[in-house]
Amino acid sequence: MRHHTTSALTLTALAALALTACSPGSSGTSPTATSAPRGGSDAVGATPLSSAALSKRLLTERDLGKGYVPMPERTQHNDDVTVIGCPALDKLGGDAATGQSLDFPNKAKVAFTYSGSSNSEVSEELYSNTARKLSDGVGRIFDAMASCPKYQVISGSTAVDMTSETATAPDLGDERWSHLLTYAAGGQRTVVKQTAVRAGNIVVIVSGSPALVDAHLDKALNKARAQG
């Protein structure tokens, strides 16, 4: 999972807001609070959910409220990615952006924009695997990002200056991680909040405008955990 994950999570975050590209991941103690050690028990069933099952648990416009419009799925880019100034991220796979999501086979994602505001975008990703694999994989990414408050990512011909800041994660699920990412490129600056919550064998990641992430994380987790 390591090689694909570094470029993947940042690519997803940028896709959620600015529709551009970047990085994630390492080992160590997570700076955000977790309510259980990594590799806890699977509270949401022992068998990982299929991608089809996960897709039914994604948020919809109806869940978000009036004014939200689904964004079309982005074309996958495979540009080489180089991380400068953060060995932990580069070690985890900054050499190639081979995808736009974490390297777990069972996954589903969706993105929305709020009509009338170009800066009001939010995306949700769902992953399912064993609790230990989810915990280790997501934990490595957020730990590595926390270890490098400033770095640069080169994706194809695009250079992006990155700033990563650990944020307080809400007391949800079995484990949780959160950070604020600032992307600066071409004279533009975008702030993305990314919060991940593991509940048993499901991980929910909500990325986008900080206010929208805070507003919709709880309902995303509740729907993801719904049985049936």
The string of pLDDT tens digits covering residues 4-25 is: 333 344 444 444 333 333 333 3
Give the global pTM.
0.79
Could you write out the three-class secondary structure of the chain? Answer: CHHHHHHHHHHHHHHHCCCCCCCCECCCCCCCCCCCCCCCCCCCCCCCCCHHHHHCCCCCHHHHCCCEEECCCCCCCCCCEEEECCHHHHHHHCCCCCCCCCCCCCEEEEEEEECCCCCCEEEEEEEECCHHHHHHHHHHHHHHHHHCCEEEEEECCEEEEEEEEECCCCCCCCEEEEEEEEEEECCEEEEEEEEEEEECCEEEEEEECHHHHHHHHHHHHHHHHCCC
The string of pLDDT tens digits covering residues 194-205 is: 999 999 999 999
The string of pLDDT tens digits covering residues 79-118 is: 567 788 888 877 776 432 223 457 788 999 999 988 755 5
